[in-house]
Amino acid sequence: RILVAWDETVATEPKTIVRGVRIAPRAGAVAMDLYFDEAGRIVRDSELRALGIAPKHWARRVIIADSMPVTAPKAAPPPVPASASRAASLPAVVLPAPDVEKARREDAEGLEGLPKGVRRIGVVQDLASPVHVRENAASIGEWAELPHGRRVWAALFLAEGAVGQRLHLGGVRLPAGAQAMVYNAGQPDERYTVEIDPDGEAWTATCFSERVVLEVTAPAGAAVNVSVDRAVYLYTGPGDWSWDKAAGTCTIDVSCHGDWADLSYGVGGLGTVGRLGYLWCTGTLLADRDPETDIPYFLTANHCVEDQAAANSLEVYWLYQTTECGGTAAHPRTAPRTAGGAEYVAGATYASGPDFTLLRLRGAVPAGVAFVGWDSGSVPDNNEVVGIHHPAGDYKRISFGRIDAGDGTGLPSARFHSVRWFLGVTEPGSSGSPLFAAESRRLIGQLYGGGASCAYPNEPDYFGRFDQTFPIVQSYLGDTVRLVRPNGGEYWASGEEVRIEWFSTPGLNTSVRIDLLRNGTPVTTIAEDTNTSQSFRWRVPANLPYASDYAVAITPASRTVRLDTSDAFFAVGPEVLITGLSPSSGYAIGGEEVVIKGRGFAGAGDLSVFLGGAPVAQIEVMSDTELRCLTPLHLPGPVAATLTNAWGGGAALENAFTFVEVSPAPQVDLDANRDGETNAIDLQLVINAVLGGPGDGCDVNRDGRVDSMDIQAAVLAAIALR
């Protein structure tokens, strides 16, 4: 039974993705995680560690992160002056005109295959004749010389009637000192540097114009290579609704609730190129647990950004909202933007997970944007919640509701929150937006979709549960340094060399401090500052008190904030060893005295000793190296000797003892009382003799002593004679 399945990018090999699957055997055994590579081969634990894939902790303490303080939004910097090239004199590339009316009809009717809750605002087209730019030539236009040993190439891309454009660049090779830019030919201050991804590709930022200029500048003689092969034609877009109204009239301007202003600054509208066109969703910039980092992790729905190809085209619009309740939002071209795509970190679909994608933005986030806090704990029904989103691609709105138990017809409650709104709703374009717990103001989910609208305000919406997402992304957002071993249940023997292991978020300094705790109180420092490769060896001091309430804490060496401890206690006790038994064999009926030799027997509390899994009787510790006991009843054959002490430490010795079967000869004399016949009285005499009574004639097996073996011999011989 599959509980959840997800994709995760390998930290050490960014182009490689593994698929994780958590499965629960139907017979009720413990659930386990399996990983598969892209060829479907199972990835072993040792390989996962080498790849930087952290083990998942599905049942552990609740972890929270608070939002990082945010300053007031800052004004945009003054525009960069327009380039030396002029649009009026540039060669033009005329892009094909799509069937916009057909696209609008599809959107109105519900485009088949369009993910739920996503708003399409543009179509993607291939250029009939791709544009190629080389160091000495271009398929259209020419290089022009600039002062100071530089040169420039530029071309105008004309998409008649378009609200805006994005261009796809491939095969890009820009040497040091070279750069590519796009700008709005009608408003040259709307210009963006093109961010090239690791594969030499890029989607330019959106320029809101039907006339867009692509410009490449480079040092003279530099080896440049750029090709333009695809383009996005925006037939509608954020802030431009000439053909239709924007968000519904029942939606609520986020600026009308100033107490949510700071958190709203961490919510952004996102555009991405998908299989069905240029799509609009919403997402959230998440805080991590390290107050000294500002890694731009961005959470949205998986159906908005389903893989690395879609992530490469991502651009995020920040602070696209009104400045006062009921005010008018500025055109999104003036909103701060993060372009250049993102790295796909991990994700899961709605069919096998909580419909999430975690991204790491490549570009910087602007000043005034918030890093939003979150809570990995589960949230009960009836709790009040708040959603902040970009409905229909419009400026930011806010909705208020509560978690609903659901009627059983929606998405599974194990992975999704069912929410019913009592103020405001969501719409297409809101997908991926955050759900906040109203009381804590921490993120607890992201929007999949649902039936809520201004026409049907009482229909439920469904949000992927963050407590189900968190175990998959914990190594990024949670404990940036996380303890792997010891994590509870281990046994450290006095004087033993043990290994401590931890996992560090990829790219972080692994220098850490390691402390030993007892019942939560520091006992000793294991390592003050170690930068070894996520493991450290330590010899357990001989004078460390024996106890079962130890734990290890791990902290980045440069700070005092403890990031992780063992999930449960482990024990420290004496080293235990079994070296042999004397005698090493005995009768299967048991009851024979044996001496077990080894080490660690004294001062270790109650001991449990087993031969072949059967407990021995009358354990007596004679010294630290010897103990005496009586053998149990057991089937004939060689068996292992095992021992555990009061702290959970143990030892084992294979083939330590052999149980043998008693086979008395027919001539055995069972007439113990010498009355001329063999009967139950004789057996009783043998038993009495073993217990300390008269022993004449009771050495039935003729081994020179009267003991429990004579009872067995008497019984077996009686059966044989009968």
Instruction: Tell me which of 85, 227, 399, 431 is the catalytic residue.
Output: 431
- Catalytic-role residue among 67, 168, 197, 303: 303
CB 24 within 8 A of CB 1: yes
Element (H, E) at 482: strand 481-485
Backbone phi and psi for residue 531, each to the nearest 5 degrees, phi listed first: -115, 25
Q: Quote the CA–CA distance of 682 and 699 in Å, as a whole number.
A: 12
CA nearest neighbour of 470 among 66, 58, 61, 65: 58
381: which 2 tokens? Answer: 């029904």
Sequence-ordered strand ranges (E) for 10-149: 17-23, 32-36, 64-65, 92-94, 119-134, 144-146
Cα(396)–Cα(62) distance, rounded to whole angstroms?
30
Give the type of residue at 17: I
For the question of residue 303 being annotated catalytic, the response is: yes
Contact by Cβ (8 Å): 535, 500: yes
The partner residues of 19 in beta bridges, in order of sequence, read 7, 36
Let me know if 453 is a catalytic residue.
no
Q: Do the beta carbons of residue 210 and residue 160 sit within 8 Å?
A: yes
Measured CA to CA, the distance from residue 617 to residue 170 in angstroms comes to 78
- Choose among 167, 164, 139, 142: nearest CA to 153: 142
CA distance 195 to 269: 19
Q: What are phi and psi of 208, to 5 degrees?
A: -85, 80
Instruction: Please pick, among 355, 394, 479, 515, the residue that the annotation labels catalytic.
Output: 355
Spatial separation of the C-alpha atoms in residues 189 and 78, rounded to whole Å: 9
Give the bridge partners for 504, in sequence order: 481
C-alpha 200/C-alpha 444 separation (Å) is 36
Tokens encoding 74: 């800052």
The strand pairing partners of 500, in sequence order, are 536
Distance CA 477, CA 290 (A): 9
Identify whether 431 is a catalytic site residue.
yes
Residues whose CB is less than 8 angstroms from the CB of residue 169 and which lie 6 or more positions away in sequence, other chains included: 180, 194, 196, 201, 202, 203, 204, 226, 227, 228
- Pairing assessment for the beta strands 570-573 and 491-493 based on DSSP bridges: parallel
Q: Among residues 202, 203, 161, 209, which one has the least CA distance to residue 188?
A: 209
Tell me which residues are annotated as active site.
303, 355, 431
